[in-house]
Amino acid sequence: MSWDSKNIMDLRLEFVKLATQEGANRRALCARYGISAKTGYKWIRRFEQGDTRLSDQCRRPVHSPSRTAAEVEARVVELRTAQPAWGGAKIARRMNDLGFAQTPSPSTVTRILHRHGLITAESSTDASRWQRFEHEHPNDLWQMDFKGCIELDSGRRCLPFTVLDDHSRFDLALDACGSTPTRVVREHLRAVFRRYGLPLRINADNGPPWGSPAQPGQLTALAIWLIRLGIRISYSRPRHPQTNGKDERFHRTLKVELLAGRHFRNLKSAQQAFDAWRNVYNHERPHQALGMATPISRYRTSPRAYPERLAPIEYGEADAVVRVSTNGEVRFKSQRFKVSSALANLPIAMRACGEVDGSYDVYFAHHRIDTISLNERGKRS
């Protein structure tokens, strides 16, 4: 197998869970995870037969009718100690998932936690529910962003790069980055696309490298690459981070459950901690907004595979196609208009607006950049 040995068990578990979902294309998944079909089907068969080597060892039943209530209570305390940010509902659901024959109710778990002094007033406030609109299917929308900077013991900094599926809350990427240039983000996204396929749309804020703070909505080199992959791009409203709310909420969970009070020696040690927590978040942690299901249970890989080569840019026969100059301007019908320097030497299309004389929608591939008016020189409609 070609998986990294540091997280091979996590990848096996993720693979078999995705492969055993209804309608899954198992051979395509084998290719995305870099294993042969023979190996993939072997792990699927063993998983379906209950092979515990493919799952967390603690998934074995740890309770029987003969065990005392004190042992159940001890297990509640053990789970809370391992996951200090989990409340009664999550712990009760997790105990049920682990096979407890007599799982206590969420309210009973909460009383146990109070009895052991494991719930504070602050943690009760932090447990308030967030409810948001969600898209109907996995991969309809992904949200991406950088978590705030983390200072490392080595003196360097770490900026966690996160990508979240809107429908399932499945975390597609949690990567420890030392910087945020286009090249770095593109490499991380390429790895995500190769494993999970392409989404229909990605939403990001207006910060670099995907946005332009000075001119919200202006295309950057990273956005152009995504558009050429056939992905629709949208941006959060300036100063409204809730537009990317699920990823922001994910950052809040990441901070509470992993980062608070933690120190990392370097990027490698940070990534090791990220990988371990990501596995818990996707596969074990009951998610309140999902009816206490786990994100992996709601996620499906995209049928749109990542193309190793970009397709040529094509426009309709009725479009007026012009090429952007090196300074980001185009000349059209004896007038000059500024679009984006990132589009230098690329073709864009001027598409006449049927209802407004002299107005044209400006497109790059499928993405509408702007609307220009020839009636007033240089004016945007």
Domain of 153, CATH number, reads 3.30.420.10
What pTM did the predictor assign?
0.74
As a whole number, mean pLDDT of residues 317-338 equals: 92
* Gap between the Cα atoms of 97 and 103, Å rounded: 10
Same domain, 236 and 98: no
Q: Report the SS3 class of residue 163.
A: strand
Same domain, 155 and 284: yes
* Gap between the Cα atoms of 223 and 232, Å rounded: 9
Same domain, 102 and 62: yes
In-domain check, residue 236: yes
Same domain, 262 and 348: no
Same domain, 151 and 241: yes
Distance of CA 206 to the CA centre of its chain: 17
Which is more confidently placed, 216 or 218? Answer: 218
Which is more confidently placed, 197 or 89? Answer: 197
Q: What are the φ and ψ backbone dihedral angles of 103, each rounded to 5 degrees?
A: -70, 125
Same domain, 325 and 286: no
Q: Using the 8-state DSSP alphabet, how is residue 289 labeled?
A: G
In-domain check, residue 307: no
In-domain check, residue 131: no
Same domain, 227 and 280: yes
Determine contact, residues 170/298, Cβ cutoff 8 Å: yes
Same domain, 363 and 261: no
In-domain check, residue 132: no
Same domain, 49 and 63: no
User: Which range marks the domain in which residue 94 is found?
Assistant: 58-126
Strand stretches in 111-254, DSSP E: 142-146, 150-151, 157-165, 171-177, 201-204, 232-235
pLDDT at 281 over 60: yes
Same domain, 164 and 233: yes
* Gap between the Cα atoms of 161 and 174, Å rounded: 6
Determine contact, residues 231/210, Cβ cutoff 8 Å: no
Determine contact, residues 142/164, Cβ cutoff 8 Å: yes
Q: What is the structure's pLDDT at 236?
A: 83
Q: Report the SS3 class of residue 211.
A: coil
Same domain, 289 and 341: no
* Gap between the Cα atoms of 191 and 168, Å rounded: 20
As a whole number, mean pLDDT of residues 338-360 equals: 87
Among 26-40, 101-115, 261-275, 342-356, which stretch is predicted with the lowest mean pLDDT? 101-115
What's the token pair of residue 5? 């040995």
As a whole number, mean pLDDT of residues 344-360 equals: 86
pLDDT in tens, 94-151: 888 888 777 887 778 887 877 777 765 445 444 444 445 667 899 999 999 999 899 9
pLDDT at 304 over 90: yes
Q: Using the 8-state DSSP alphabet, how is residue 265 labeled?
A: S
Q: Which residue has the tokens 């990501």?
A: 278
Q: How many domains does the chain have?
A: 4
Q: Report the SS3 class of residue 157.
A: strand
Determine contact, residues 373/337, Cβ cutoff 8 Å: no
In-domain check, residue 193: yes
Q: What mean pLDDT value characterizes the chain?
A: 84
Same domain, 112 and 20: no
In-domain check, residue 13: yes
In-domain check, residue 308: no
Determine contact, residues 233/217, Cβ cutoff 8 Å: no
In-domain check, residue 95: yes
pLDDT in tens, 148-177: 899 999 999 999 999 999 999 999 999 999
> Pick from 126, 150, 174: which residue ends a domain?
126
Q: What is the structure's pLDDT at 170?
A: 96
